[in-house]
Amino acid sequence: MTTYTPSESDAPAVTEEKTKTEKVAKAYANPYLAAILLGVVLFMAFFLTGSGLGASGGLNRILVFFEDLIVPGHIDRTPYLLAMAGGAKNALDSWIVFLTLGTVIGGFTSGWIHNRVKLETNRGPRVPVKVRWVMAFIGGALMGFGARYARGCTSGQALSGGAVLSVGSWAFMFAVFAGAYALAYSLRKFWN
């Protein structure tokens, strides 16, 4: 699917001189090779930490760390938060925090090396930038709420649960894909 970006059709013609100095983005990795590498990373995560991959746990602990700086009394009164950061405990003292930070740093580094780091808003040609940002915020908020409500994120369910052949994880992922396709179809006007 192609998306409209203002730089593609609204910008004036690019001169030959400017084209020579621009770096061209490198092609994406072969999906089969990327899947094999992801499997190796997942295996190493199980081997080194005893746990699989996930993302929401690391973000949750980072937020709890800052919450503990602002309102430590609340942390000490809430059993769920107390287990992570109560008393002298540091919420950042967990392998999942380092995995999350490594994911962000690794993703940025990969984008930088392959000339894909840029600020842009992908959207349909008739969709204003503000509407696209509002929809992205709403979608991200719903995903974050769902991940905390389910006590885990889709990557943890799909990768870690699926790798150990958890029936619940496989059923969850089929439901996620079915729901995502239905929702994407109903919101297609935000891309066209």
| 63 within a domain of the structure (yes/no) | yes
CA distance 181 to 144: 19
Residue 54's pLDDT is: 80
The two tokens of residue 77 are 């009164």
State residue 64's pLDDT score. Answer: 92
Which pLDDT tens digit goes with each residue over 95-123? 889 888 998 999 899 899 988 888 888 88
**Residue 151 in this model has a pLDDT that exceeds 80:** no
Per-residue pLDDT, averaged over 49-62, amounts to: 84
Stretch 10-39: mean pLDDT, rounded?
Answer: 73
Side-chain-side CA neighbours of residue 1 (13 Å): 10
Burial 159-183 (b: 16+ CB within 10 A, else e): bbbbbeeeeebeebbeeeeeeeeee
Higher pLDDT, 62 or 6: 62
Phi, psi of 118, rounded to the nearest 5 degrees:
-160, 155
What is the secondary structure of 10-35 as a DSSP string?
TSPPPPHHHHHHSPPPPPPPPHHHHH
Q: Which domain holds residue 130?
A: 123-192
Residues 108 and 140 in one domain: no
Q: Which of 85, 118, 151 is the last residue of a domain?
A: 118
The tally of domains found in the chain comes to 2
Average pLDDT score over residue span 170-181: 90
Whether 33 and 91 map to the same domain: the answer is yes
The answer to whether residue 15 sits within a structural domain is no
The predicted pLDDT at position 2 comes to 45
